[in-house]
Structure 1
Amino acid sequence: MVLSVIATAFILVLPVELPDKTLFASLVLATRFPPLPVFVGVGAAFGLQVAIAVTAGSLLSLLPEALVSGVVAVLFLVGAVLLWRSARSGPEDEELGETGQGSSFLRIAAVSFGVLFAAEWGDLSQLATAGLAARYDEPLSVFVGAWAALLVVSGLAVFLGTKLADRLPIALIRRVAAGLFLVFAAFAVAETVRALAS
């Protein structure tokens, strides 16, 4: 494992997820159920989603270098635009539907897993994770960094609850995350140009 890649994945994914539906879905689940089984279910869902994104990014890295860096640049540019445009909107609300009133640890963890696993498809953190896995040849390091960031966000939501949601400067967090995505897109464009020139 490479610590710099773990740190890069963590730093890129964390601000993307702070104002995201993930935080608010975890928060709502934690208001309905005890926090520990919610956190276990959410953490397991994130682990599977990150593994899928890392696998997709690693498969992408098998393509020619110029094509990979071009795709990575597009992924990060799309993420930057989406984050910047969403900076003025409020927190995303997640419709949880009927979750049932079962009180067993496993049932609550399963409900939390299902809600978050469904909510994360096509999310910006998945794009970022796949892009990082394609850019670096360190899938395990990308996995650890991205999953750690997602666990921190869900832990904050589950264990700190509404106090956190009321104090997050969502517009600022989304703009900072958009800036990070733009920086990674610029690096990927430079790599594409270099690969095409050689």
Structure 2
Amino acid sequence: MFSLGTAAIVFALIFPVELPDKTFIATLVLATRYRPLLVWIGVTAAFAVQTLVAVTLGGLLAQLPKQPVQALAGAMFLVGAFLLLRGAGQVDEQEAAVEEEFAAKVRGPATGLRAVGASFLVLFLAEWGDLSQLLTASLTARYQDPVSVGVGAFIALATVSALGAALGRQLLRRMRLATIRRTGAVVCLALAVITLVELIRG
């Protein structure tokens, strides 16, 4: 059964994690070569597949005994917080490097389905095993609600990619990526604490 509250929690976690990440930068670069709408369609299709895989993995983890699953989920939230905090100070330099990396992967102009397919392929190959996927799997195991978690994660990813395609360069000039990354770390840390408390009480 779908839970709007769970989907909103997942969105609130995944969105700040992905906003300064490769997802945003890759979409921005692709949108400079192809029509932004075609880029967004291809990118969100890739995210749909990746979210489905992450939710499926989390659903399998949820079949294990509850305490080990909670401990694993809490550990993943702590790892997420650590990675986000560690990278916050160098996020601007990382942004430039990632942009250069994806610019080298994009080949020539393309239109129609070729642009959609190229955008799908770039994101599909680049984003396996990244933090948002690991968090999506952990959240699925924690809440045991794959539909709500999957919807929340997918909408967050689709929103980030839409911002990257439509307003990427303008947003990069106006927002502080380090602050967004630290916000994501705080959310991860809060979830880790909540999960630990539930584990101790259980």
Residue 171 of structure 1 corresponds to 178
Aligned to 1:160: 167
Aligned equivalent of 1:14: 15
- Name the residue aligned to 1:103: 110
- Gaps of at least 5 residues in structure 1 are none
Question: 2:34, 2:109 within 8 Å by CA — same for their partners in 1?
Answer: no
Identity %: 49
2:152 to 142, 145, 149: 145
Map 1:118-137; keep pairs closer than 5 Å: 118-137=125-144
Range 182-191 or range 62-71, more displaced: 182-191
List, as ranges, runs of 4+ consecutive aligned residues in structure 1 with deviation greater than 6 Å.
none
In 2, the alpha carbon distance for the partners of 1:161 and 1:53 equals 26
The within-5 A match list for 1:35-114 is 35-89=36-90, 90=92, 91-92=94-95, 93-94=98-99, 95-96=101-102, 97-101=104-108, 103-114=110-121
Comparing 159-168 and 137-146, the one that deviates more: 159-168
Confirm or deny: 8 A CA contact 1:76 1:127 kept in the other structure. Answer: no
CA distance in structure 2 between the aligned counterparts of 1:138 and 1:69, rounded to whole angstroms: 14
Equivalents in 1 of 2:18, 2:114: separation in Å? 25
SS of the residue aligned with 1:62?
coil
TM-score by length of 2: 0.92
Which ranges in structure 2 are unaligned for 5 or more consecutive residues?
Answer: none
- 1:100 shift after superposition: 3.1
| C-alpha deviation, 1:137, in angstroms | 1.9
